[in-house]
Structure 1
Amino acid sequence: MSIQVISNDRALASLVSSGTVAIPLSEPACQLRTLDVTITDRPAVDTGFWECAEGQFRRAVDTGEVMYIFEGSGSFMPDSDDEPSIEFKAGDTLFFPPFTRGVWDIREKVRKLYVMV
């Protein structure tokens, strides 16, 4: 086993441009920067750091996701009528079940750590 430590400074310095969100709802489309992280002995685990500029876009991810927001703020409006809009800010942790669909509204550039489950 090998414990990995990624300092906040290193993570931010290592983010690379990843283009725009897949389904933009605002102009200009939200710009992304990412850093994929490989976990020793678990290379199939999809995890890393993600940064998104201000704007709106649709979430179209089939897997579940756990995320820790360490910078920024916004909201998420689920497509489901029985789910309320979720406000989030730096310091919050969000758990998304698989196939969660809805609209992200990024009001202040968001940086998060994510693990797809």
Structure 2
Amino acid sequence: MKVQQIKQAVELEGLEDWGTAALPGTDPVRVSGRQMVIPGLEAIDTGVFECSPGAYRRSVKQAEVMHFIAGAGIFTPDGEDTIHFRSGDTLFFEAQTEGLWEVVETMRKIYVIF
């Protein structure tokens, strides 16, 4: 299959529980999603990701594109300016990007990891 479609990702139900993330001394953020790998192209990871409000650190190991379809928050890359994002925004991450996520409103995104 050369084209993969994620229908109505903002309303997609049945996301898998992917655990939690948190900063020390803070309430954990619930993380869930659904991975949608294209058969034969397993090196490209894509899917839907959602997390509840809260703060956590993350290291983006590989290049990643994120398109936010719900929610809002802030990402502060280490040593760089803070980025505010909300539904409708798209972010492009260089591999090895580290920083602080602060999710203000439950966030849902479509992601592609290269």
The whole-number CA distance in structure 2 between the counterparts of 1:87 and 1:58 is 16
The whole-number CA distance in structure 2 between the counterparts of 1:9 and 1:102 is 26
RMSD: 1.7
Task: Return the structure number with greater helix share.
Answer: 1
- Residue 67 of structure 1 corresponds to 66
The alignment status of 1:95 with 2:95, answered yes or no, reads no
The whole-number CA distance in structure 2 between the counterparts of 1:104 and 1:10 is 21
The whole-number CA distance in structure 2 between the counterparts of 1:32 and 1:49 is 11
Of 9-18 and 96-105, deviating more is 9-18
Q: Is the 8 A contact 2:10 2:108 kept in 1?
A: no
Which 5+ residue runs of structure 2 have no aligned equivalent? none
Which 5+ residue runs of structure 1 have no aligned equivalent? none
Q: Is the 8 A contact 2:44 2:112 kept in 1?
A: yes
Distance 1:9 1:111, change over 3 A: closer
1:14-64 CA-to-partner distances (Å, cap 9, x unmatched) read: 31111102xx11632100111000113312211111001000000122111
1:49-87 CA-to-partner distances (Å, cap 9, x unmatched) read: 10010000001221111000000000011111xx21000
The whole-number CA distance in structure 2 between the counterparts of 1:98 and 1:3 is 25
TM-score by length of 2: 0.90
Identity of aligned residues (%): 39
Segments ≥4 residues shifted beyond 3 Å: none
**Aligned-pair CA distance for 1:8:** 1.7
- Residue 18 of structure 1 corresponds to 18
